[in-house]
Structure 1
Amino acid sequence: MGSITKIEAPESFPTLVPALRIKTYFSQKFMCGDVFSGSKLVAVPFSGGTIKSVGDFEPKLDFAVNSGTDWFRIDPDGSKGRIDVHSLATDAQGRSIHLRLEGITAINEDTMPLIFGAPDAKTPAFGNGFQHLKIEAGHDEYKALEGMLFATSLRFTKEEGDLTGVEIRASRIVPGSGME
């Protein structure tokens, strides 16, 4: 996904704090064809999943993903997929949140078989895709989520049967401080 140059980060750069593990599943894909942008549009509805907080992250989350669709756009050169997800998740008390994810994933020999459901596909390591995540929450217990942004890393996973999984690790973006 491009080279990364490490620099000494002054305190004014944002930092990341691990926050959430998200797992979703899909088996269907609906090919919408080439759209005005020149990309191929594929609708990928989710068939379930979970969202759980990690470590000391607050508020604590333990949600079931009940619905959602990734409006996946494949760049004209076929090298990248553009992720645009809207999803709904609900806790044990019936309180729901709306998640919005946008990002980019490489389309290569690791991801292509999983994206298109090849029977011999294998789960790769993380490192082929990233997103940013925003959450809308109207319930007091989860309202703080609306003031947070998250950076994510994702990978596609091979699941039993005809399911493909998506594993996401989300870290809260904490703004930098200082004058530098």
Structure 2
Amino acid sequence: MPPSLEHVFTMRMYTSPDKALVIPEAKGNNHRIVAFLTHGHIKGSGLEADLLPGGADWILRDPDTNTGHLDVRVQFRSKEGHGIYIHFKGVLQIDEKWMEVFTGGPKARTLEFGENEWLGSPIIETSHPDLKWVERSAFVSELRWFVDHDGSVAVENAVYKVKPSRV
């Protein structure tokens, strides 16, 4: 029996795509995109925390395949004052729907999970005594664009704990 997944957190991290740093032809023919994350939250499994300044997604985009290689580092503070640090790598297929949101196009809208390929593998550290289990767990995540009612744009990340198979 293969491992199973249990949804444990949802992260919503707002960004300003118009303020992203785009460096064409960095590292050969690749493009570097630095998307700064301005505010947001993580919720689930007894955790509620706010995104702190300084987080970003450093995407390396291969223009031949439109594949983005993610390198995300973010930090949160819980309502009780505990720190949460999350670093994740991932892959993203940059398609027309994704670009429509990133460029602020007229058809920009919230995408459904799975509408494009956008996956991550978070590693989580925390000082929260009730959440130390996250440091002993493996996670995978699925991401999507979330366009708020006021037009602001967020990356929403559904985080799943990988549960080992039963013998």
TM alignment of 1:121-140, pairs within 5 A: 121-127=108-114, 128=116, 129-140=118-129
State the match for 2:27 in structure 1.
36
- Which residue of 28, 33, 47 maps to 1:61? 47
- Which residue of 104, 118, 143 maps to 2:91? 104
Amino acid across the alignment from 2:157: I
Identity %: 25
Residue by residue, what CA displacement relative to the aligned partner does 1:65-87 show, whole Å, maximum 9, x if unpaired?
Answer: 11310001211215222221000
* Residue segments in structure 1 that go unaligned for 5+ positions in a row: 1-10
Residue by residue, what CA displacement relative to the aligned partner does 1:68-126 show, whole Å, maximum 9, x if unpaired?
Answer: 10001211215222221000000112211100121112211211111233344122221
**Structure holding more helix per residue:** 2
TM-score, scaled to structure 2: 0.88
The offset of 1:145, in angstroms, is 1.1
Question: Based on CA coordinates, which of the two structures has the bigger radius of gyration?
Answer: 1
Q: CA RMSD in A?
A: 1.7
Q: Distance in 2 between matches of 1:118 and 1:175?
A: 42
Q: Distance in 2 between matches of 1:163 and 1:25?
A: 7
**Structure holding more strand per residue:** 2
Task: Quickly say closer, same or farther: Cα 1:124–1:139, change in 2 above 3 A.
Answer: closer
The question of 1:170 aligning with 2:154 is answered no
Whether the aligned pair in 2 keeps the contact of 1:52 and 1:63 (CA below 8 Å) is yes
Of stretches 62-71 and 30-39 in structure 1, the one that deviates more from structure 2 is: 30-39
Q: Distance in 1 between matches of 2:60 and 2:152?
A: 20
State the match for 1:3 in structure 2.
none
Task: Quickly say closer, same or farther: Cα 1:48–1:33, change in 2 above 3 A.
Answer: same
Of stretches 19-28 and 151-160 in structure 1, the one that deviates more from structure 2 is: 151-160
TM-score, scaled to structure 1: 0.82
Whether the aligned pair in 2 keeps the contact of 1:117 and 1:162 (CA below 8 Å) is no
